[in-house]
Amino acid sequence: MTLTEKPTSTKASKTFCLEAFCAALPQWAERIQRRVQQSLQASDQNLGHLEELLLKDTKEIQRQAVEEAAQKKAEGVPARCPCCGQLLRRVTSGHSRSFETRFGSITLQRTRGYCKRCRKWRYPADAALGLAETAGYSPSVQEMAALAVSKLPVAEAERVIERLAGVKIPRATLDREAKRQGEQAEQLRQQMDEKTQTPQGAAAVSRALQMELPLEPFTLVIMIDAWNIRERDDWGQSERLRRKGLEPARWHWAYNATVFRLTERAQSAAGRPIILSRGYVTTRWGIDALRGQLYAEAVRRGLHHAQQILVIADGAVWIWHLAEDRFPQARQQLDLFHAKQHLWAVAHELHGSGSAAAAAWVEPLLKQLEKGQAQRVIRRLEEVLAETSRSQAKLVKREVEYFKNNQHRMDYGAAKKAGEPLGSGAIESTCRQYQCRFKRPGQFWTTEGDEALMCLETFWRNGRWNQLFPHVGDFDPSKN
Ligand SMILES: [Zn+2]
């Protein structure tokens, strides 16, 4: 069978052979054995040298195999428009193009035809092989770019890919390619999110969930937080803005949330609380975007099946508004650590910052708070307010208001009994992890670039990397 024949019938596929590849194998085997022999005799070479040697020497074999196989795949693709399915006109073959794969560059001969409906020239093989119109990279190399740049600054990503995968991607190309992948991830996220908003879509999500939902009634926990990110939206305009007396605004909010079922909470071997499976949401596009994305993620984690919804946050007012809007049935809980900080503020005001007297004063109140006795804490603060000097009254009054406004969010005693988290530590640690990547010194971002990379990172964390890159199979980066 020659390369130009199509492997269409069963008979043909039974006799299928990568001819050029198979013919070249014996020569390669001989060459590799010779090289291995040399390495074995060199006293200064260890297993690492053998690994490098075999990696390099077998790469060309793999490159040729993938080139030949891809060529066969290209030839089996019917001459139809990959976008609308119309039969293509004026079809010609032999259109050559090179693509970078993880084994090196391959060159394919493709068929081209004109789609009358789309009014475009099409290469159906490119679509079938997962090759993008714009960049000449294989799906595997596209994935490498997306993964490396979402984890590392692009200059480092370039070197790491070259070292670990032996693929050279120029920095500017790598940056562009990762951003393109990120934008595709954003599109996919939008499709997935929209699906949760239709009755049919939500029903499909529910069916998919049935397998993983616990049999017993469960609580769905939602934690929300925000952090600052540095961007160069006023890049190059700093001087102009400063002349006008304006300081260029470069810090912006990034919004994070996490969703998990309480039944997914467990302990690590070292006794630390861990969450076995959970969903993440991150966006730079503002609170409205967060609201939509978070609702969709909550649906995917069992919102419509949960007996209870619990929202935990640090007390920012926009978070409670969001919770009331999207999760009106939810119980709200203020992060215990933040509530304690407010008591400490009163203690320092009354007894001096860092003093033993302040600690002695606050201790019983902290205990009451932990037991969920917010009413008693408020009563004590009101007594203090009645006795206090005018200079201290302002702060104490403010804190009385704070505890009164949040009293219904301070039922820590019940939360502890139910095995619920008392604070929003799980989201705060998530924010820190994102910050590690997105807040390096000297790093500036654009909103579009941010969102694209954050979206990639979130697909990875959510265990949905294979939805972006189907060749990954059942690899799930969120599972240990
Ligand atoms: Zn078409």
- pLDDT greater than 60 at residue 334: yes
- pLDDT greater than 70 at residue 124: yes
- Residue 354 alpha carbon to ligand 1 centre in Å: 72
- pLDDT greater than 70 at residue 235: no
- Residue 150 alpha carbon to ligand 1 centre in Å: 34
- Residue 132 alpha carbon to ligand 1 centre in Å: 16
- Residue 470 alpha carbon to ligand 1 centre in Å: 24
- Residue 444 alpha carbon to ligand 1 centre in Å: 40
Coarse DSSP helix, strand, coil percentages of the chain, rounded to the nearest 5 percent: 55, 15, 30
- Residue 190 alpha carbon to ligand 1 centre in Å: 24
- Residue 383 alpha carbon to ligand 1 centre in Å: 77
User: What is the rounded average pLDDT of the residues 272-292?
Assistant: 91
- Residue 77 alpha carbon to ligand 1 centre in Å: 15
Residue 451 buriedness (CB in 10 A; 0-12 / 13-18 / 19+): buried
Tell which wins on pLDDT, 268 or 9. 268
Among 243-252, 299-308, 402-411, the minimum mean pLDDT is found in 243-252
- Residue 94 alpha carbon to ligand 1 centre in Å: 21
For residue 150, what are the contacts with CB-CB under 8 A and spacing of at least 6?
Answer: 178, 182, 437, 453, 456, 457, 460
- Residue 176 alpha carbon to ligand 1 centre in Å: 27
Residues 62/27, Cβ–Cβ less than 8 Å: no
Provide the strand spans (E) within 5-58: none
- pLDDT greater than 90 at residue 465: yes
- pLDDT greater than 90 at residue 461: yes
User: What is the rounded average pLDDT of the residues 137-154?
Assistant: 92
- Residue 80 alpha carbon to ligand 1 centre in Å: 8
Residues 256/228, Cβ–Cβ less than 8 Å: no
- Residue 184 alpha carbon to ligand 1 centre in Å: 21
CA angle 123, 81, 95 (to 5 degrees): 15
Residues 160/443, Cβ–Cβ less than 8 Å: no
Token pair 């769905």: residue: 220
- Residue 86 alpha carbon to ligand 1 centre in Å: 6
User: What is the rounded average pLDDT of the residues 391-411?
Assistant: 92
pLDDT for residue 140: 94
- Residue 128 alpha carbon to ligand 1 centre in Å: 15
- pLDDT greater than 50 at residue 1: no
User: What is the rounded average pLDDT of the residues 52-79?
Assistant: 94
pLDDT for residue 429: 81
Residues 113/90, Cβ–Cβ less than 8 Å: yes
- Residue 82 alpha carbon to ligand 1 centre in Å: 7
pLDDT for residue 439: 67
- Residue 85 alpha carbon to ligand 1 centre in Å: 6
Task: Indicate the pTM of the whole model.
Answer: 0.86
Among 168-172, 326-330, 347-351, 475-479, the minimum mean pLDDT is found in 475-479
Output phi, psi for 168, to 5 deg.
-100, 120
- Residue 124 alpha carbon to ligand 1 centre in Å: 10
Tokens at residue 318, please?
Answer: 């926009």
- Residue 87 alpha carbon to ligand 1 centre in Å: 8
Tokens at residue 56, please?
Answer: 């390099």
- pLDDT greater than 80 at residue 11: no
Q: Is 54 helix (H, G, I), strand (E, B) or coil?
A: helix
pLDDT for residue 389: 84
- pLDDT greater than 60 at residue 3: no
Residues 117/61, Cβ–Cβ less than 8 Å: no
- Residue 78 alpha carbon to ligand 1 centre in Å: 13
Residues 349/259, Cβ–Cβ less than 8 Å: no
- Residue 119 alpha carbon to ligand 1 centre in Å: 7
- Residue 120 alpha carbon to ligand 1 centre in Å: 7
Share of the chain above pLDDT 90, in %: 65
The single-letter DSSP state of residue 66 is H
Alpha carbon distance 65, 77 (integer Å): 19
pLDDT for residue 97: 95
CB atoms within 10 A of CB 192: 18
- Residue 112 alpha carbon to ligand 1 centre in Å: 13
pLDDT for residue 210: 86
Alpha carbon distance 461, 405 (integer Å): 35
Among 8-17, 27-36, 324-333, 466-475, the minimum mean pLDDT is found in 8-17
